[in-house]
Amino acid sequence: MPSYMGDLIEQMKKKKAGVADSKAEEEKEQKKQKIIEALKRMPEGEAQRKAAPAEIEPFKPAKIFTKIVIPRESVKEPSSRKKPEAVKETEQEALEVAPATEQRLPVKTAKSKTEKQMEQAEKEEIDSYGNIKIYRVEGEPLLYYWTPVPRSAGTEKTIINTIKEAATRIISITPYKIRDPEQKRNVYYQRIMEIIRSSPELNIPASRFDFYADAVVREMVGYGMIDPLVNDDKLEEIMVIGQGQPVYVFHRQYEMMTTNIEFFSDQEIIDLVNRIARQVGRRIDISAPLLDARLPDGSRVNATIPPASVSGATLTIRKFRGDPFSMIDLIKMNTVTLEASAFLWACVEGMGVKPANIVISGGTGSGKTTTLNVLASFIPRHERIISIEDTAELNLPLKHWIRFEGRPPGIEGTGEISLDILTKNSLRMRPDRIIVGEIRHDEAFSLFTAMNTGHDGATTGDTLIQFSNGNIEEIGNFVENKFMEKNPLKEGDFEFVDIKGEIFVPSFNKKTFKIEDNPVIRVWRKNARQKIRRIKTKSGKEIRLTEDHPIYRINNGIQEINAEEAKKGDFIAFPKQIPINASEEIIKPYLMGLIYGDGHIHSEGIQFVNKEPSLIQSFERGIGEVTKNKISIKDFGGFSRVNVYDKKLVKKIVNEYDIPLGNKTKIFELNKKVLTASQSGLGKLIRGLFDADAHVNLHSQSIQFSTSNPRIARKLPMIIQRFGIHSSLNTQERDGKGKIGPYYRVSIYGKDNLEKFANKIGFGHAEKSKKLEKLILSSKNAKDLFPKISALIRKARNDASMTQTELASLMGTQTRSTIEAYETNKRSPSRNQLEKIANITANTSMGKEVLMLVNSDFRFEEIVKIEEEEFNGYMYDLTVKDNHNYIANGLFVSNCLGTVHANSPEETIVRITSPPMNVPEIMMSGLDFIIVEHRLHDKKKGTIRRITEISEVYGVLEGKTKTQAIFEYDAATDSLKRTSAPVNYLKVLERFTGMQRKQIEAEIKEREKVLKKLVETDVRDINRVSTECEKYLLSRGGKRAFN
């Protein structure tokens, strides 16, 4: 070590020396003279050199008002006072060659401008701890914070820089291997002490070893002059606002104060900022003049340099609280009441069945992160938590907790890890809870998507998916094909593949209720053995899906619910008509319809058998246009058979239309070529199929298509829905002739549907065409009703200031009793009647909502049966961009905690649904509560933080998001008071717990008692509070926590 230090000093000498050998002796003589001059300025005497430095005396005022006397040892010379170069060099060279017997000058440090002013001011010491003193200064609005300033200058600065340079070269420690800041300080301190002890060339007395080691540690792994402030746990914030200005601090007890610390130059601040930036693995320079990061101890640092900050560099450190606040602290500080705390505990924990989704909003410094941290401590310990923050600040008493932290882009503009990316990634990790520290941009949409959809829902592989090009395909086949194209990734129990191609599905816009095309961006599957639900509607449509897969029902608006919430008698959403963008052309589509119906293909040719002469002629004419071979017709008395031998034609039809050879009845399908045909071509094909196999039943007043082919029976209702024709599907064990099935019957009924069939498809079969005309004349329209919207109608009428009689009169044919029936759900209005109500009340906001529902692309069918069954195999789902829903088996299904800067629940809603977050308003249905916090100024108490409102979000699915205050802040009593508003969330708990409202309210009271006992016994440690809450849950039969 001595040889290394000697070499280092020699290197420093050479830097001072000239490069020309001819001048060496002259320079040596000059150097000698300078050294002699420097030594003359040093006091002599071995005793003084070995004497211990005087300790800084604590300041003791002689009277109430006095002057601050700063010990001389702590006074330093401002760097702005430049020394002549010759003096600087002599000091340095004296250090390099001075014998060990020489003595040091006492170091004189300069006073800051603030210190000089405070020396002359009258002041009163109001508190002190350690080396810290707090003064009240007469005539000043802020208190004065005094601490010994660890600033070195002159010779001491030279020695410190020399040791620091040596330490930088000698000490080899990988920073990330020592994460604990205090441990890192200790390691550096020990190594630096070794360097000092092994370097007699420095001429440092043993009594000064500690001083220099501490100084170097502060410079290398500490925070220089503001190190005492960083180490003061009573400070909340440290604010450096520029050179020549006092450093400000925000004290947990005394709030904003000035300090005696002052940076004399902008470069000092920039050096400190750069050191901090390197420490946290970030950069700050003229191209990226902003720094926002987390210090190793968890404190948050924000720094700016020019050109971002015009007046020079700034630095703000929000200190990490090693002992985080608990709910008991907030209760004692009157931030929240016992009653509100117990209520929030029940909401966060969710009675073990349905935790609430909560957003905390408020201004800067209002306590949002503290409240978020406190509420998260109520989460049961068996749950898996993922937190996502720009700068990690949360300190949760939880074990199964994964922390994510964002990262800005690097120098090349790459490598950014946004909160949106982290939020999306967290959804693949099977979290029970996601906590987002602050939502500002795209992560808001991802978070609310998670709130609304979850990620466990799936349907069975035989579910038919409608694509925008007209194709209808089983979801299992579609997903498996995508899995063959690309290696899947894992997310919990699911596998998934991202899709970059343009595959679109019809989905409805949750803002307009209109169908539009959106791309499928991901496909999912999981191998499951679980219970699923089979839901069947009045028209015979069925779907099998997991209990947590969302569907849509009407209940005074459109509601997204999980399948497990659906019940018999609910009305669920179907598309009124499926708009398709298809253009495939089919050669002779009517002929192909006849072949699908009564055709038979063998390896040599094609046969067609039917008893209707007009169809025999149509087939003969059509087949003759696609073949030059001989066509024969044979009459069998009651039916005829057309036969043509043409191997090329057979091959073409089999290849293009996938019609099997032989008996095709139960196995043929309408393939992609047919399904993606233009509307005109598909209509002609369906006409041929219905001419061959359908009949008009005057008794049941319907067109009926019967088949033993389940594939055709399931697809056909979705196909004719492209024309706006609604149908029913029934299954029977035997056909009309007694043959054993199963057999399937697709029925079209209702005057409006029959007219659409006649106009858009029609019959070529003369007799069937005549029957259809007759049937249309005798039929009534199918019921296109809007059930369960009584509250919407009543609200629209009340908003328009009308009585039931007045509304009925304006509607023309209605009576007051009809309106009363609509408003009590005894009757459901048709689309026409609801449109009249909407137009009459159109000037009201609720009337506009009713009109939007009337003009929507929805129709509704009643659930008549729900069965639970066991399932073992693969289940599937899609992710659809933006709208997050698609059409499955003919109906709409959906695919599967944070803080906000805002000052009210209403502003929070606006911020979330407006740019840059842009969360669709309907997705707010996933949000249960908004907690609003403010930082207030009280004349007696100073700055106080209060939860000023706990509001419930409702009305989203009725088209108008609203909030109602459950608790409100009363400034007169400085407390949070319960309002009289009913809590809708308690109804949710009723449904999922099976408890009655009184029982739930009694449970909340019991929790209030638990918290009160903790307050009375002063149990405030957040880990202890969390443990006591967990013990209470276990005593009430909750899940066993993971310990």
Contacts from 611-616 at CB under 8 Å and sequence distance 24+? 611/638, 611/639, 611/640, 612/691, 612/765, 612/766, 612/767, 613/640, 614/764, 614/765, 614/766, 615/691, 615/692, 615/764, 615/765, 616/640, 616/642
75: pLDDT strictly greater than 70: no
Determine the Cα–Cα distance for residues 737 and 364; give it in Å rounded to an integer. 78
- CA neighbor of 505 nearest in space, from 424, 454, 578, 583: 578
pLDDT of 320 over the 50 cut: yes
| Same domain, yes or no: 659 and 754 | yes
Q: Where are the beta strands (DSSP E) in 481-625?
A: 489-491, 494-498, 504-508, 515-537, 542-546, 550-554, 558-562, 571-575, 599-601, 605-610
Check: CB of residue 676 under 8 Å from CB of residue 582: yes
* Same domain flag for 981 and 847: no
Mean pLDDT, the chain, integer = 81
Task: Determine contact, residues 684/593, Cβ cutoff 8 Å.
Answer: yes
pLDDT score, position 6: 60
Nearest C-alpha neighbor of 961 from the set 900, 920, 916, 904: 920
The pLDDT tens digits for 747-762 are 999 999 999 999 999 9
pTM above 0.75, yes or no: no
When pLDDT is averaged across residues 541-561 and rounded to a whole number, the result is: 87
Per-residue pLDDT, 886: 94
Give the lowest-confidence range in 424-428, 581-585, 672-676. 424-428
**Residue 977 within a domain:** yes
* Separation CA 392–CA 78 (nearest Å): 37
CATH number at residue 645: 3.10.28.10
| Most confident residue range from 180-189, 655-664, 891-900 | 655-664
The stretch 929-954 carries a mean pLDDT of: 83
Task: Report the interhelical angle of 790-799 vs 831-840 (nearest 10°).
Answer: 20
In tens, the pLDDT along 1001-1018 reads: 999 999 999 999 999 999
889: its two tokens: 């088996």
Mean pLDDT of 840-854: 89
648 and 542 in a common domain:
no
β partners of residue 632:
643
At residue 363, the pLDDT reads 74
Residue 240 inside a domain? The answer is: yes
Q: Is 700 in the same domain as 834?
A: no
Task: Find the range with the poorest average confidence among 92-101, 438-447, 1007-1016.
Answer: 92-101
Domain containing residue 886: CATH number = 2.170.16.10
Give me the number of domains the chain comprises.
5
pLDDT in tens, 760-809: 999 999 999 999 999 999 998 888 899 999 988 998 999 899 999 999 99
What average pLDDT does the segment 854-877 reach? Answer: 94
Q: What is the pLDDT of residue 1039?
A: 46
Residue 361 reports pLDDT greater than 50: yes
- pLDDT at residue number 52: 36
What does the alpha-carbon distance between residue 533 and residue 865 come to, in Å, rounded to a whole number? 10
| CA 882/CA 880 separation, integer angstroms | 7
What is the spatial distance between Cα 943 and Cα 526, in angstroms, rounded to a whole number? 54
pLDDT, position 61: 35
Least confident of 261-265, 285-289, 381-385, 428-432: 428-432
Which whole number is the average pLDDT over 512-541?
A: 91
Q: What angle do CA 159, 165, 167 make, to 5 degrees?
A: 100
Choose from 355-364, 788-797, 930-939 the range with maximum mean pLDDT.
Answer: 788-797
Q: What 3 state SS string does 632-669 have?
A: EEEECCCCEEEEEECHHHHHHHHHHHCCCCECCCCCCC
Averaged pLDDT for residues 6-16: 54
- Give the 3-state secondary structure of residue 1021: coil
User: Higher confidence at residue 593 or residue 458?
Assistant: 593
Tell me what pLDDT residue 453 has. 44
Highest mean pLDDT among 60-64, 436-440, 776-780, 1035-1039: 776-780
Q: What is the mean pLDDT of residues 296-324?
A: 86
DSSP string for 893-917: EE---EEE--SSHHHHHHHHHSTTT
Lowest-confidence region among 28-42, 124-138, 781-795: 28-42
Q: Structure tokens of 668?
A: 């043929």
Is residue 1 a part of any domain in this protein?
A: no
Q: Where are the alpha helices (DSSP H) in 745-800?
A: 751-760, 766-778, 790-799
Q: What is the pLDDT of residue 1014?
A: 94
CB count, 10 Å around CB of 800?
A: 18
Cβ-Cβ contacts under 8 Å for 1039 (sequence gap 6 or more): 352, 380, 382, 1033
pLDDT, tens digit (0-9, with 9 covering 90-100), for 687-737: 999 999 999 999 999 999 999 999 999 999 999 999 999 999 999 887 766
pLDDT for the residue numbered 153: 63
Q: What is the rounded distance in angstroms from the CA atom of residue 789 to the CA atom of residue 806? A: 19
Q: What is the spatial distance between Cα 321 and Cα 28, in angstroms, rounded to a whole number?
A: 57
Do the strands 235-240 and 314-318 form a parallel or antiparallel pair, or are they unpaired?
Answer: antiparallel
Please indicate, yes or no, whether residues 29 and 115 belong to a single structural domain of this protein.
yes
Written as six digits, the tokens of 806 are: 């007045």
Which domain CATH number covers 999?
3.40.50.300
Residues 424 and 354 in one domain: yes
Q: Return the pLDDT at 761.
A: 96
Does residue 321 fall inside a structural domain? no
- If one counts every other C-beta atom within 10 angstroms of the C-beta of residue 686, the result is 28
Nearest CA among 125, 129, 151, 150 for reference residue 138: 125
| CB-CB contact of 332 with 1015 (8 Å) | yes
Identify whether 317 is part of a domain: no
Choice between 1023 and 392, residue whose per-residue pLDDT is larger:
1023
- pLDDT at residue 98, as a whole number: 34
Residue 301 belongs to a domain: no
The reported pLDDT for the residue numbered 94 is 35
Q: pLDDT tier at 67 (50, 70, 90 boundaries)?
A: very low
DSSP, collapsed to helix, strand or coil, labels residue 8 as helix
Q: Which residues pair with 526 in a beta bridge?
A: 875
The confidence band for 29, taking pLDDT boundaries of 50, 70 and 90, is low
Report whether 599 contacts 608 (CB < 8 A): yes
Residue 697 has what pLDDT? 94
Domain span including residue 679? 589-778
Indicate if 667 and 545 belong to the same structural domain.
no
Identify whether residues 80 and 220 lie together within a single domain: yes
Q: What percentage of residues in the chain have a pLDDT greater than 90?
A: 38
Helices (DSSP H) in 855-960: which residue ranges?
905-913
CATH of the domain at 825: 1.10.260.40
Please indicate whether residue 391 or residue 619 has the higher confidence score (pLDDT): 619
Same domain, 918 and 968: yes
Which of 723, 752, 778 is where one domain is finished? 778
Average pLDDT for 973-996: 85
Q: Of 833, 855, 877, which residue is a domain's last? A: 855
Fill in the DSSP letter of residue 284.
-
Q: Are 599 and 688 in contact (CB under 8 A)?
A: no
For residue 176, what are the CA distances in angstroms to 84, 184, 275, 544, 787?
42, 10, 15, 52, 63
Mean pLDDT calculated for residue range 510-515: 87
The residues that bridge with 900 in the sheet, in sequence order, are: 361
**pLDDT score, position 53:** 38
Beta strands in 195-313 (DSSP E): 235-240, 246-251, 255-262, 290-294, 300-304
Q: Is residue 400 part of a domain?
A: yes
Rounded-to-integer distance, Cα 375 and Cα 362, Å: 16
What's the whole-number mean pLDDT along residues 169-189? 72
Determine what percent of the chain falls in helix, strand and coil, rounding each to the nearest 5. Answer: 40, 25, 35
417 falls within a domain: yes
Q: Residue 359 pLDDT more than 90?
A: no
Q: What is the CATH number of the domain that holds 24?
A: 3.30.450
pLDDT at 46 over 50: no
Tokens 């509304």 belong to which residue? 807
Same domain flag for 34 and 78: yes
Residue 561 and residue 789: Cα distance in Å, rounded?
17
Q: Which of 233, 264, 295 is the last residue of a domain?
A: 264
Model confidence at 672: pLDDT above 60: yes
Q: Do both 134 and 230 map to the same domain? A: yes
Q: List the structure tokens of 413.
A: 């503009």
Q: Which residue has the tokens 């057309």?
A: 642
For residue 256, list its beta bridge partners. 250
> What residue spans of 665-815 are helical by DSSP H?
672-675, 679-693, 710-720, 751-760, 766-778, 790-799, 804-811
What was the pLDDT predicted at 252?
Answer: 84
Q: Are residues 442 and 550 in the same domain?
A: no
User: How high is the pLDDT of residue 84?
Assistant: 37
**Separation between Cα atoms, residue 941 and residue 812, nearest integer Å:** 66
Q: How confident is the model at residue 48 (pLDDT cuts 50, 70, 90)?
A: very low
pLDDT of residue 11: 57
The residue among 432, 404, 400 whose CA lies nearest residue 420 is 404
